[in-house]
């Protein structure tokens, strides 16, 4: 299927495994440019069509890394982003204390809101 993604650029988090890797490859297969983001230092060889791939190593939980990415790629006209990283702590409701829930909030929601607000800012009218 052709989604007309040539000359479009997407940021994909968690891009070296699982869901992130599958989405990155689907976008590359459609001719899109992909800025693949992962904590791994080197991308694995599982990416297809790597001519359209830019790899960035960093931690999406880090607000300074958000600033770095958005400054570096501000002229790329980012079409979309897959915000795919982080998750809640393992355990049952009874096992988790308030510190665990605070950590979960930061791991699941807070950094994503921060990154998306910064990513969307240039597109606001």
Query: Is the pLDDT assigned to residue 77 strictly greater than 90?
Result: no
Ordered by start, the domain boundaries in the chain are 9-123
Task: Look up the CATH number of domain 9-123.
Answer: 3.40.50.720
pLDDT value at residue 72: 96
Do 53 and 26 meet the contact criterion of CB atoms below 8 Å apart?
Answer: no
- pLDDT-based confidence at residue 42 (cuts at 50, 70, 90): low
pLDDT per position as a tens digit, 4-41: 999 999 999 999 888 999 999 999 999 999 999 998 77
Q: Cα separation of 95 and 20, whole Å?
A: 30
């Amino acid at each position: 299927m052709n989604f007309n993604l040539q000359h479009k650029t997407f940021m994909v988090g968690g891009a070296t495994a699982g869901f992130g890797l599958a989405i990155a490859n689907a976008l590359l297969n459609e001719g899109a440019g992909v800025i693949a983001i992962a904590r791994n230092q080197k991308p694995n060889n599982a990416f297809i069509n790597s001519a359209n791939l830019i790899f960035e190593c960093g931690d999406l939980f880090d607000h300074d890394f958000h600033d770095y990415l958005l400054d570096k790629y501000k002229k790329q006209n980012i079409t979309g982003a897959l915000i795919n990283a982080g998750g809640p702590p393992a355990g049952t409701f009874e096992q988790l204390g308030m510190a665990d829930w605070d950590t979960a909030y930061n791991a699941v929601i807070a950094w994503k809101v921060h990154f998306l607000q910064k990513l969307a800012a240039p597109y606001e009218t």
